[in-house]
Amino acid sequence: GQNIDQPTEMTATEGAIVQINCTYQTSGFNGLFWYQQHAGEAPTFLSYNVLDGLEEKGRFSSFLSRSKGYSYLLLKELQMKDSASYLCAVMDSNYQLIWGAGTKLIIKP
């Protein structure tokens, strides 16, 4: 079956760095998405990786290894507003999105 795993919850300190991992097993691969979702709001697009490697976008970076079925989202210089759920989603060979359950990130002062 298709599966995406990411930690349920993580805690980090303001100003620090945190890495949220996502591993996947899907039938085919047409890209991996990371979204940020604040409570009560729609998910906000953060990144899309389809090739191996690291993509950096400001304080956020996303890494993909297709051979390992693995991605991570790296958040630097954490701010309190980064407290949110982070969703990993993979588009499979049928262009369907397979969603992880989300990682709730708690930032402490």
DSSP string, 88-100: EEEE-TTS-EEE-
Task: Identify the CA nearest to 36 among candidates 48, 47, 24, 45.
Answer: 45
Q: Residue from 20, 75, 88, 98 that binds another protein (CB under 8 A)?
A: 98
Contact pattern for another protein over residues 60 through 89, marking x by CB under 8 A: -------------------------x-x-x
Site residues (CB under 8 A) for another protein? 35, 37, 39-40, 42-45, 48, 85, 87, 89, 94-99, 101-102
